[in-house]
Chain A
Amino acid sequence: MKFEVRLSGEGGQGLILAGKILAEAAAIHAGLNATQSQSYGPEARGGASRSEVILSDGEIDYPKATEVDVMVALTQQSYDTYRHDVKKGGVVIVDSEAVESLGDTWYRVVSHPIFQLSEQHFGRILFGNMIALGLVAGVTGVLPKDAVEAALVSRVPKGTEEKNLAAFRLGYGLAEADAAGKGS
């Protein structure tokens, strides 16, 4: 089993943290092997940013993604730049406000106003990364929900656990609702 996740957007959106949580959930709480790598520019904010997580039940040699199962794109630029090696039949989760032009798709697109939801529910756009993480966990079901939650609580700054957890659950719930809607 090998599963590749790519979280992309711009610097400052918290994608590297989201990737670390996913990797830790797999490695520590779900008994899998995992790596998380990143690619970013010299800017503290802005600039293309990418965080990749590989989950596997075996050795992970090359630590970057080559055939992406799930990708998150929070900007149009990251969507355009990084979608090329998403697997046929994979999933791309986009921020519906940021990614307007989807082009040809050979994957399923899951679209939600991620940052708007963060602002609505938590008064700040800061929690968009955890909503996105919830979507990834909910859409893929690759890791148990409680494994991701346990990793989240151990990795986010002290005192912010509750809001981050609520944001994660919001994203997870959206994925569940999408799945239920599709089934009906």
Chain B
Amino acid sequence: MTRSSRPLNDPNRRRPPRLLTGNEACAMAAIDAGMRFYAGYPITPSSEIAESLARWLPTVGGVFIAMEDEIASMGAIIGASLTGVKSMTATSGPGFSLMQENIGYASMAEVPVVVVNVMRGGPSTGLPTSPAQGDVMQARWGTHGDHPVVALAPYSVEETYEATVRAFNLSEQYRVPVILLLDEVIAHVNEKVELPEREALRIVERPKPEVPPSQYLPYVDTPTGVPPMAPFGTGYRYHVTGLAHDETGFQTNDPKVIDAQLRRLHRKLELGRHDIVEVDEFLIQDAEIGIFAYGSSARSARRAIRLAREKGIRVGMLRPKTIWPFPDEEVRAWTGRLKAWLVPEMNLGQAAHEVEWAVAGRVPIRRLNRVDGNLFHPSEILRAIEEMA
């Protein structure tokens, strides 16, 4: 039986309303999810996450470290997580690039960590204070090798809170690095939120070994593909490496073992696929035109859909809350009922590429791209819808 990583036991139990930014909601959610170790290097537009956690973590017995750079930040949170402490870092494009090597290490060594990447204009230092969505492919393929990874892309402050809790749940449950992809708009917008009560949250902890240290195999296969994880310092001594390893954690050159281990890394996400992948459907049931949008672009799309509906155009949206693994089944399922897809994104067509692959030529796909550091104006999306109708 697969456990659910969904963050809410009871969606109706809410705290009183307050005004929060996405970055603040992310920091609050991390603490509510049990995160007690943060290592990072501040960078716009993610800095308020570090700023908030520097203030809040010490008050709950957690540790906050300002590191010398993002490479070290990733190293620190991997080390902390190995001791059994939920750990995270937050950054933006330039820092996310530096973290890639160690993100691969976390994938290979199956260390649960959460990496927040608040997307800003790139490449390179690009546009520090402006929104973009150019790191979608980097979140999936930024580090080398066939590595498993999960990435979530919330579109509001309230959803950022829930996605952050879910990011920890997923990383613990599947022992995988989870990337929380925010963008500058969601990170900095202040919105009225009614956060779930702490007691209403479903918090997942990593699987622990049920055998004594002498029998512990840190990379053993299991029905879920996820091996139990013993915290360092509790008598379970084992080897952690980025090299291909056998079930003891020691390096191996045995092709059969290497193949089985690498396939297990992917199988654990394939088995959990329906728990991990989450989408939101907005007025798509009777739609002829489907919009595939995520993050702040989906906010513009939502307005455009309402405006188009007023003009009698049947348009709706499939919005991935989980962007990796990609919701290809969901795209395919709706494709049969649509005339065409429209994919607005603040990059030159990264998710569109995946949509095209899932649709496999069955219906036309129109890309709508913006890379000037501005969020889509709803009228731009509306114009595209009208041209397609």
**Residues on A facing B (Cβ under 8 Å):** 19-20, 23-24, 27-28, 33-42, 60-64, 66
Query: What chain A residues lie within 8 Å of B185 (beta carbons)?
Result: 37, 63
> Given A20-B19, A61-B306, is A38 in contact with B300 using a C-beta cutoff of 8 Å?
no
Are A35's CB and B129's CB within 8 A?
A: no
Q: In chain B, residues 360-389, which have Cβ atoms closer than 8 Å to a Cβ of chain A?
A: 375, 377-379
What chain A residues lie within 8 Å of B299 (beta carbons)?
A: 61-63
The answer, among B190, B300, B303, B377, for a CB contact under 8 Å with A23, is: B190
Classify chain B's interface size.
Answer: 20 to 34
Residue contact B378 to A62, C-beta cutoff 8 Å:
yes
Encode B191-202 as 1/0 by CB contact (under 8 A) with A: 110000000000
CB proximity of A39 to chain B, nearest CB, Å: 8
- A62 proximity list for chain B (CB < 8 A): 299-300, 302-303, 378
A-B contact pairs, 27 of them (CB 8 A): A20-B190, A23-B190, A23-B192, A24-B19, A27-B18, A27-B19, A28-B17, A28-B18, A28-B19, A33-B192, A35-B192, A36-B19, A36-B190, A37-B185, A37-B190, A39-B129, A39-B130, A41-B129, A42-B44, A42-B129, A61-B302, A62-B299, A62-B300, A62-B303, A62-B378, A64-B375, A66-B377
CB distance from A7 to the nearest CB of B (A): 13
Which residues on A sit within 8 Å (CB–CB) of B188?
37-38
Ranked nearest first, the 5 interchain pairs of A and B with the lowest CB-CB distance are A27-B192, A61-B302, A62-B303, A36-B190, A61-B303
- The answer on a CB contact under 8 Å between B303 and A42 is no
The residue on B at minimum CB distance from A47 is B129
Q: Hey, which chain B residues are within 8 Å of A28, CB to CB?
A: 17-19, 192
Instruction: Say yes or no: A37 contacts B302, CB within 8 Å.
Output: no
A36, A38, A41, A63: residue with the most chain B Cβ atoms closer than 10 Å: A63
Residue of A nearest to B377 (CB): A66
Give the Cβ gap from A29 to chain B, nearest Cβ, in Å: 10
Q: Please indicate the chain B residues that have their CB under 8 angstroms from the CB of A23 in the complex.
A: 19, 190, 192
